[in-house]
Amino acid sequence: MARTTSLSGFPEWLPEERIVEQHVLDSLRRTFELHGFSSIETRAVETVEQLLRKGEIDKEVYGVSRLQQDEEDSSKEGALALHFDLTVPFARYVVENNGYLTFPFRRYQIQKVWRGERPQEGRAREFTQADVDVVGDGTLPFRYDVELALVMIDALSALPIPPFVLRVNNRKLAEGFYRGIGLEDAPAVLREIDKLEKIGADAVARNLQEAVGASPEQARAALALAEIRTEDTSFVEQVRALGQSNELLEEGLAELAEVVGEAARRAPGKVVADLSIARGLDYYTGTVYETVLVGHEQLGSVCSGGRYESLASTGKKNFPGVGLSIGVTRLVTRILSQKMASASRSVPSAVLVALNDDESWSAAQDVAGALRSRGIATEVAATAQKFGKQIRYAERRGIPFVWFTTVAEDGTVGHEVKDIRSGEQVPADPQSWQPAPEDLRPGVAAAGSSED
């Protein structure tokens, strides 16, 4: 498990833990690129106005300023803050660079974000997110909502984590239903429904009546919709059985059925239509997603997102999109704390070149150079201690092989390499010797499986 740092909410990893995190990041990159997403990076800061224009999250935002800031500095630009997610900066990036992008624009982005909330397992103040989005110019076909679900299933399936469930809903479905029962302030209803798992149905019913003005009958109807969960498209008939129908509701039903139907065909059991999923942020307009690990539901969603029609806009033109975000730090923290996966060693080095004497250091560097030229990570001992001590150093470091150079009486130079795990020592040529593929670099193995 990662050490507790002296500054709460800002996690740091030990070397072997960092290897696990890098494995997760590399796996995500491979999957995103296999699906045709391009990598971008945006700046760490945005103007406060930009960050707060969608949703009420001002208490979570970290402001940024110079310790010695003067009036001239503050007058040149608006107040700055660290971004709390990657979606809002991405929207700004699309607007500013739309003349240079090809639409639909498929992007993935893996960066640190900062959020000023109370630290606990699964929630940090500094953490890494991995986002994928598709953004259109003016319009974006709904099929991308389906594709994003399939991309995320592929991405999460490749990680050393327990089984997961991608829970999907549609804001059009929910808003159409609420209007049908006479609740016109759909965003307010959604914000209360979003609290269902945290506070329970009775508390949500009270909130709907006190904060939204719902009657007891309307509150019961809203909760009845939220109770519907199916692994196939049978939710459509269950919703219709509640007795409401309007154009927006029917549009949401059709869209959700397409997402769930295709995902259920390709990845049975991975996707559930869950009509309690609301997503609190106001910019979502259609499909919304949340993902939980089976048996670890208390951790909360490890991947979420949805469809937005006007988060990115020039004023004259909208750039609608759909995207999902993985909480990488949340996932890695749980992987490490529950020992779901571990690194085969804590260092990249596969070989330690031992020294016969201090004068042989330069020759040892020649051996190391030959090995490194073929991609074999190699260290050279710093001092010519007894071989036993040099071998123990390699063991402490987790280096699997120690390289020895021998000089015969006639001056002939030979080389041998020792696998310090098995004790086997064999002749080797620095120009051609190669370790087994699994020893070339640190591997990450899920609990109960072989190394990757």
Average pLDDT over residues 96-119: 94
Average pLDDT over residues 128-138: 96
pLDDT value at position 123? Answer: 85
CA distances to 53, 58, 61, 62, 78 from 74, in Å: 20, 20, 18, 17, 7
**Contacts with 4 (C-beta within 8 Å, 6 or more apart), sequence order:** none
Joined tokens for residue 83: 């971004």
Beta-ladder partners of 312? 319
Task: Please report which confidence band the pLDDT of residue 372 belongs to, taking 50, 70 and 90 as the band edges.
Answer: very high
Map residue 208 onto helix, strand or coil.
helix
Task: Please report which confidence band the pLDDT of residue 279 belongs to, taking 50, 70 and 90 as the band edges.
Answer: confident
pLDDT at 186 over 90: no
pLDDT value at position 6? Answer: 75
pLDDT at 220 over 90: yes
Determine how β-strand 378-380 pairs with β-strand 351-353: parallel
pLDDT at 75 over 70: no
pLDDT value at position 369? Answer: 97
Task: Please report which confidence band the pLDDT of residue 231 belongs to, taking 50, 70 and 90 as the band edges.
Answer: very high
| Residue range(s) in the chain whose domain bears CATH number 3.30.930.10 | 15-343
Query: Is this prediction's pTM over 0.95?
Result: no
Q: Rounded distance, CA 327 to CA 124, Å?
A: 10
Task: Please report which confidence band the pLDDT of residue 353 belongs to, taking 50, 70 and 90 as the band edges.
Answer: very high
Map residue 250 onto helix, strand or coil.
helix
| Residue range(s) in the chain whose domain bears CATH number 3.40.50.800 | 351-446
Q: Are 351 and 401 in contact, with CB atoms under 8 Å apart?
A: yes
pLDDT value at position 77? Answer: 62
Average pLDDT over residues 329-354: 96
Mean pLDDT in the chain? Answer: 91
CATH number of 15-343: 3.30.930.10
Got the DSSP string for 38-104?
EE----SEEEHHHHHSSSS-GGGPPEE--TT--HHHHHHS--EEE-SSSHHHHHHHHHHHGGGPPSS
Binding residues: 85-87, 115, 129, 133, 279, 283-284
Report the range of poorest mean pLDDT among 69-73, 255-259, 411-415. 69-73
Joined tokens for residue 326: 């993985």
**Contacts with 417 (C-beta within 8 Å, 6 or more apart), sequence order:** 351, 401, 402, 403, 404, 425, 426, 428, 433
Domain 351-446 has CATH 3.40.50.800: yes
In this structure, how many other beta carbons lie within 10 angstroms of the beta carbon of residue 121?
12
| Vertex 351 angle, CA 350 and 357, to 5° | 165
pLDDT value at position 190? Answer: 86
Q: Are 329 and 303 in contact, with CB atoms under 8 Å apart?
A: no
Query: Crossing angle for the helix pair 171-180 and 186-193, nearest 10 degrees?
Result: 110
Task: Please state, for a pLDDT cut of 70, what percent of the chain lies above it.
Answer: 94
pLDDT at 364 over 70: yes
Query: 224-241 burial, b if ≥16 CB within 10 A, otherwise e?
Result: bbbebebbebebbebbee
Task: Please report which confidence band the pLDDT of residue 50 belongs to, taking 50, 70 and 90 as the band edges.
Answer: confident
Determine how β-strand 287-293 pairs with β-strand 164-170: antiparallel
Binding residues for L-histidine: 85-87, 115, 129, 133, 279, 283-284
Determine how β-strand 271-274 pairs with β-strand 164-170: parallel
**Contacts with 22 (C-beta within 8 Å, 6 or more apart), sequence order:** none
Average pLDDT over residues 4-22: 90
Q: Rounded distance, CA 166 to CA 82, Å?
A: 29
pLDDT value at position 387? Answer: 95
pLDDT per position as a tens digit, 284-330: 889 999 999 999 998 989 999 999 988 778 888 899 999 999 999 99
pLDDT per position as a tens digit, 152-178: 999 999 999 999 999 999 999 999 999
Q: Rounded distance, CA 374 to CA 430, Å?
A: 10
